[in-house]
Amino acid sequence: MQWTLWGGALLCVLGFASSVIVSTLDEIGVRQLGLDGAIQEESRKVRIQDVKLLSVRYWLLVLTIMFFYNGIFPFIADASKFIQDKYSYYSQKEAAYIAGAVYDSSLVLSASVGILIDYVGLRGVFAVACAVLTLPVFGLLAFTFVPPLVSTIWLGVTYSFAAASMWPSIPLVVPQATLGTAMGLATSVQMIGIGISNLVVGQILGTKSSETKIPLWRWQRMMIFMLANTISCIVTSVLLNVVDHRQGGTLNKTTKKSGQEQSDPDREPLTQAEEEPNEQDGDAVRSRSINS
């Protein structure tokens, strides 16, 4: 346990250093693109009341993320115990390895999956596909004795695609000046959902001791709860695709279509009304220059 805690501390330090480097590179990149002034001006206009201006697509995307992770993290938290209780021939160490296969799969696949989605696009379609393909995982765990490693690897694959398709979709449906607010809200809603799900799972399992064997029917009820969250994810992701299609199909643009400049009402700057007088002033200056 001590080495685990030191490893976690090291990862936190590494994450902090990486965030400082990324922040510096981002600031340099924005300055090189000449966007620093515009972004700062637009950001000054952002108020807490502007949260209500975030689009329906954004909120559907947030709910899709929340429901998907509601079925992932609470399961992983209890997966080792579940494997030991249902498949009694696995030791505690083996059960922990099998439960960790979700993250191992993601570790191997995440980079290549991200490249694939950047190349193909279709983020909304991938979100629906991830939710649909996650359904059988909890069904197998609840009602069959298929080796649990199959389910955890399967879950790791869908988790990789979901993370690469859902979170990067947020910048596509919100104004750039509100991106930090939008990401923070999405994370907050996700964590609220996960917290509530953990409480529900605790009530379903009904024990405070890790040594007590939990009856199989309780585990089945937990898996049914995971299934309910996944079905909710399917519903919200389908609605997300419907709304996105009606508003130009930003999330499902292929690589060819993404290269074309198309306006998106959800990403219009908050200070657009203030930009029009500036454009008129610029036209007036150009007219005086031509006349002179």
Cα–Cα nearest to 248, from 146, 105, 124: 124
Give mean pLDDT, residues 261-286.
49
Give mean pLDDT, residues 274-278.
45
Q: Which tokens is 50 given?
A: 């502007």
The pLDDT of residue 268: 53
Domain annotation covers residue 178: yes
Name the pLDDT band for 210 (thresholds 50, 70, 90): low
**What is the Cα–Cα distance from 210 to 134, expressed in whole angstroms?**
27
pLDDT in tens, 216-231: 899 999 999 999 999 9
Angle at 109 between CA 227 and CA 60, to 5 degrees: 45
SS3 224: helix
Instruction: For residue 127, count other CB atoms closer than 10 A to its CB.
Output: 29
Domain annotation covers residue 265: no
Q: Which tokens is 166 given?
A: 């859902």
- CATH number where 226 lies: 1.20.1250.20
The pLDDT of residue 127: 93
Domain annotation covers residue 86: yes
Please tell me the pTM assigned to this model.
0.78
Domain annotation covers residue 42: no
Domain annotation covers residue 29: no
Domain annotation covers residue 258: no
- For residue 282, give the H/E element and its range: helix 272-291
- Count the domains in the chain: 1
The mean pLDDT value of the chain amounts to 82
The pLDDT of residue 44: 55
- Whether pLDDT at 194 is above 70: yes
Name the pLDDT band for 275 (thresholds 50, 70, 90): very low
Name the one residue in this structure whose structure tokens are 């400082």: 20
Q: Is 123 exposed, middle or buried (0-12, 13-18, 19+ CB in 10 A)?
A: buried
**What is the Cα–Cα distance from 90 to 87, expressed in whole angstroms?**
6
Q: Which CA distances in Å does 230 have to 77, 78, 222, 234, 257?
A: 17, 17, 13, 6, 30
Domain annotation covers residue 290: no
Cα–Cα nearest to 229, from 268, 200, 261, 262: 200
**What is the Cα–Cα distance from 156 to 265, expressed in whole angstroms?**
35
Range of the domain at 241: 53-253
From 5-9, 21-25, 133-137, 275-279, the region with the lowest mean pLDDT: 275-279
Domain annotation covers residue 154: yes
Name the one residue in this structure whose structure tokens are 């972004």: 39
